Structure 1
Amino acid sequence: MKHLPKHLRPRWRYLAVTVEGWPDAEIDRGAFQRALWYAGQNLLGDAGAADADLTVLDFDFSDGYGETVVRARRGHADDARAAVACVDAVDDQPVGVAVRGTSGTVRACEEKYLGRRPEVPGQSTVVFENEERAAVGRNDAYDVRLDGSFAGATELDFE
């Protein structure tokens, strides 16, 4: 089968997306792809989601932080950004999702917006609610372990 001429091939835009969850969250590419498809269908409708053709190309998630590249058809980048913003949970695990930038090639997207973790999370012990508790710190935010779950906190919440 012959390739289509360049002027007839679909053109794409690539979104650099960061995913943040609790430190013990385990999220894989398939689960994030499924959550993105459902968000796109709920926001754009079936026809709009099919036109945008949202696809997760690369997914890396560990220690509560992840990065991915999401592909969308040219002309649907704003729809894709909106659909990504609607993802609030993956496999019933709450996540925060942010689009760091949009590019015309995967390589430019990765070089400009991805590749460096903001900070390696550090394990420490903090005093929270008058008790010593384990916490994982990233940047200026902390995830404090409470009886089987986590609570988000900042330095102002500690004594």
Structure 2
Amino acid sequence: MNITLDHYDKAIIHALQEDSSISNLVLSKSIGLSPSACLARTKNLRELRVIQRFTAFVDEKKLGIETLAFTMVSLSPLNREIANSFVQKINETPNVLECYTITGGQDYLLKVVAKDMSTYRDFIIDYLMAIPGVNRVETSIVMQTEKRTLSIPLDEE
């Protein structure tokens, strides 16, 4: 379902992607709408699930989390029951930040954080490989983050 956004909606989304803690009053002034109109539009964007939630962008290294990895997983056999069971287990795992079903030689791509490499190794061996159907795991360790954003680009009118 595509939703048509006008320049006010896009301005609201852009501002909230930059700083979701901005007050409605400041937001309304920055985009040139009355506070009530701005609040109504923001509420509508939330009801339409264009804006799904407001959250904090955390620096994991400052919390002692040193390892960020992209982990590719192959399931065997790959069927609906195994896939659903795998996704359910992954959704219960706090150190898996993101999970994508992908095409190509692997079935899933996971974004995983761990305190250190030893903790990551234990996660792979003791948890991930123990999930029924997990056949193969391939990992790319992030050495340095060059760009990180949650902002979705909006086309300009």
Same fold (TM over 0.5): no
Q: TM-score, normalised by structure 2?
A: 0.37
More strand by share: 1
Instruction: Name the TM-score, length of structure 1 as normaliser.
Output: 0.37
Between structures 1 and 2, the one with greater helix share: 2
